Structure formats: C-alpha cells, structure tokens
Amino acid sequence: MGKKVLLIEDEPNIIEAISFILSRDGWEVKTHANGHDAMDAVRRRAPDLIILDVMLPGKSGYDILGEIRHDADYASTPVLMLTARGQTRDRELAERAGVNRYMTKPFSNADVLAAVRDLVGT
C-alpha cells in the first residue's frame, strides 16, 4: 500500500480526477468534502500529505491549515493547498498559515502529481 494522501475538496469531479491520478501513481487516497469536521478527518486518516482546498463549506482552508499546524501530531505534515484564488495576498496568507505548496486552479495533473511526490519525498 502506498503512502496516504487526504484530499479535502468539495467539488466531486475534482475529487474524482485527483483521486484517479494519485491512485494510478500508487498513492492511497482518502477524501473529505467539507470544512466543518476536516480536522477530525485528518486525525482519523493520519495522512502522509494533505491536499487542501481553500474555499470549503463550513470552514476555510486557512482555518483548517491553522488547526493542522497547531496539532502536535500533524504540525509537520506536508500540506498542498489548491485554490481558485491566485492573488498575492492569498498566497501570503497561506504561507503565513504554514502551507508547504500553493497551487492555483485550474492546475495541470502533472503539476499536482509532481508536487505530491516532491512534498512526500518520493
């Protein structure tokens, strides 16, 4: 079984596409579709990497990232943030919150795959 990726994203077809390309690359992909209990999902899935959308129903990706970084067990888990927002201030906000990589939508599958591999060090 490959390393575990938790994808927190609310668009079903984006979830399906990313899950497919990562699964084909040997990753074990778990998904979660809302912000409310995203941190519970992180603790339950114990991922090696988290792919996090910014604009989620219930709670923003920035808030979830803040919770991840304040949890001793996951403070150093790599987080790849995906968002439709590409403005400098959004990127700065993500970096301040402790993101490892920030990609704007629409992204290329190859870039996502490369980022995941790079962040987990495979």
Partner 1 sequence: MPERLMIGTRIRERRVLNGMRQTELARQAGISPSYLNLIEHNRRRIGGKTLLKLAEALEVEPSRLTEGAEAAVVGGLREAASDSETAERDRIEEFAGRFPGWAGLLVDLHRRTEALERTIDTLTDRLAHDPFLADSLHEVISSVTAIRATASILVETEQLEPEWQARFHRNINEDAARLTEGAQALVRYLETAPRRDADLTSPQDEMHAVLAARDYHFSELERPDAHVQDVARLVAAEARSGLSAPAQNLLATVLTRYLEDARALPLSVLRAQLNRLGPEPDRLAAATGAGLALVFRRLATLPEEVAGPIGLVICDASGTLVFRKPINGFAVPRLTGACALWPLYQAMTQPLAPLRMRVRQTGRGGETVLALAVAVPSGPGSFERPAPMQAHMLLQPDPGESAGPVRTLGVSCRICALSLCEARREPSILSEGF
Q: Which position among 34, 63, 67, 91 is part of the footprint of partner 1 (CB under 8 A)?
A: 34
Peptide bond into 78 cis (omega under 30): no
Among residues 24, 21, 64, 68, the alpha carbon closest in space to that of 47 is found at 68
10 interacts with partner 1 by CB under 8 A: yes
Q: Which position among 70, 75, 76, 109 is part of the footprint of partner 1 (CB under 8 A)?
A: 109
**Contact letters for partner 1, residues 44-83 (x by CB under 8 A):** -----------xxx--x-----------------------
Interface segment toward partner 1; rule CB under 8 A; list 41-49, 62-70, 90-98, 99-107: 99-107
Type of residue found at 24: R
Instruction: State how far the alpha carbon of 50 is from the alpha carbons of 9, 75, 113, in Å.
Output: 10, 12, 13
DSSP symbols for 59-88: S-HHHHHHHHHTSTTTTTS-EEEEES---H
Is the Cβ of residue 109 or residue 122 nearer to partner 1 in the bound state?
109
Footprint of partner 1 (CB under 8 A): 10-14, 16-18, 20-21, 24, 33-34, 55-57, 60, 84, 105-110
